[in-house]
A and B are shown apart, each in its own frame.
Chain A
Amino acid sequence: MANPVPSACCVVLAAVVVVYAQRHSQQDSHIQYERVGADVTMKCGSMDWDAAVTWTANGTDIDDSHLNGSYLILKNVDLTQSGQYSCYEGSSWHLKYQTYLRVGVPPKEPVLMCRSNNYPKGFYCSWHLPSPTYIPNSFNISVIHGTREMVCEKDIFPKNRCHIRYLQLFSTVKYKVTLTVTNALGKNSTTLTFDEFAIVKPDPPESVVAKPVPNNPRRLEVSWQNPSSWPDPESFPLKFFLRYRPLILDQWQHVELSDGTSHTITDAYAGKEYIIQVAAKDNDIGTWSDWSVAVHATPWTEEPKHLTTEVQITGETLTQHKHPALRSPGYGGPQH
């Protein structure tokens, strides 16, 4: 057996090092959270009340008027007073205590939204705080379906979003989603209760294209695609809503289309530029998507014939043809 004395020494030495390191790290990494408007009293570690100390805030000395003995008093703190506070022994300038003050507020009721843009696969929920707390917050979401608690998988991006896969379809039991936000100063929560069908809202249609129709001055051909997030348009077909107006007018015209991903507008005003948008909805359930990205198009117009000017010069009539290159561009060609 090894000599116990040197082993014991090692153990004691190790213990001393650990304790010293702990105390030191406590001084360095101490964080203190306080509410805006609160009164904060900081003690200089284990120093007596009547010890002579100097406090600094982010390296700058703090005036004695804020001291009560060796305690630092901060009244009615505001956000600008967040920072590192250090306490030094008067004469030796020995660091006795250090803390990081973070001023913030407890969380307000969070805003929660749940939506199924990929029915019947599942749904996602996303949330945010209506106003900042200025300190770190943690979010916890719970989804209850009848008696079963379901796991909402957090998305990496965007943050503050999670998704759930449906295990069953056509459920009569509502889903209850509760979001709790917690920080060092308090907590708050909100709950949403909904039916499977109520939250169905597809993404807007994609690749909307509008083209003039050759030789038809009042027509525009519009085509689009199902949103790529909608997994099964065969069994769960979408219907569409098209709206269009000339740029110069405010009033939209609407067309609802129960199938197909194209439509020809036949009552466009000749020569006017149009703005066109499309929205999608499951044929039977849920709500309309947001409007798609707007596309612009102008109906086909006839190319002007060569202009002729007649000039009479002393009894002779000269006919002059306008040079084709001088015709203004943009007529009759497809708009993008």
Chain B
Amino acid sequence: CALRARDSWGIFAFLCAALCNLPAVPALNGTEELGAGQSIQKTYDLTRYLEHQLRTLAGTYLNYLGPPFNEPDFNPPRLARAEQVPSATVDLDLWRGLTDNARLAANYRAYSRLLCYLRGLDGQVGTVELRHRLGHFCSSLQGLVLSIAGVMSSLGYPLPAGPAGPPAPPGAPAAPNDFLKKMDDFWLLKELQTWLWRSAKDFNRLKKKVPPAVVTLRMEARGF
């Protein structure tokens, strides 16, 4: 699905704020106050926070789905339909060789998509408490998407046009039965968990490779 209107506005507002504040920035005194390094660290911290939140949320949700989904050894084969959810799995050398732009873009696309799917769960879930938790998690996940967007823009990278691949049609291939629907939910949570683990490693690499001085140079080049 496409990003909701308010997400686009959110990003636009963020970018506006960033751009508007640029001339007001005094000659950088070398601190990381506005550096990409700081936002990368913030994004990294967000992924850790979300991973922690997800542990509790997933436990509760899987219990709501009931057995066998909440069994620790549950190890089903992946069905073709599950391929719609973006996978974090990647060849090791390929992962290592990703450019910063590609690395960030992959994260941005994945979480945008995952956020859409998660929001799709929201209306149908059983208990109030679970709905509340899910809602809170979605907000945090949106914060992550915005944070990644912030890092990309501060490094001068264009935001990816939209979720990769063709947007699912409105009556998106709904699961034909209850069990398969639950299976979809199971894989969604699993991919989310794996992506959060992967992002921690992605942002670790970015931390090391992107010094704050990069932003300083760009500012000087623009004559601020």
Chain A positions near chain B (C-beta within 8 angstroms): 120, 146-147, 166-174, 176, 193, 197, 234-237, 283-285
Contact = CB atoms under 8 A, between A and B. Distances in A.
Contact of B90 (A147, A170, A197, A237): A170
B12 to A, nearest CB: 31
Contacts of A147: 77
24 contacts: A146-B77, A146-B78, A167-B91, A168-B91, A168-B92, A169-B89, A169-B90, A169-B91, A169-B198, A170-B90, A170-B195, A170-B197, A171-B89, A172-B87, A172-B89, A172-B187, A172-B191, A173-B75, A174-B75, A235-B204, A235-B205, A235-B208, A236-B204, A284-B204
Interface in B191-209: 191, 193-195, 197-198, 200-201, 204-205, 208
A193 B195 CA distance: 20
Q: Chain A's interface: helix, strand, loop or mixed, by majority? A: loop
B48 interface: yes
Contacts, number: 63
Contacts of A120: 92
Given A168-B89, A168-B90, A284-B197, 18 more contacts: A120-B92, A146-B77, A168-B91, A168-B92, A169-B198, A170-B201, A172-B78, A172-B89, A172-B187, A172-B190, A172-B191, A173-B75, A173-B78, A193-B73, A235-B96, A235-B208, A284-B48, A285-B197
A193 B75 CA distance: 8
Contacts of A171: 89, 194
Contact of A170 (B75, B96, B187, B194): B194
A197 B197 contact: yes
A230 B110 CA distance: 29
Contacts of B125: none
A284 B55 CA distance: 14
B224 interface: no
B194 A172 contact: yes
B49 interface: no
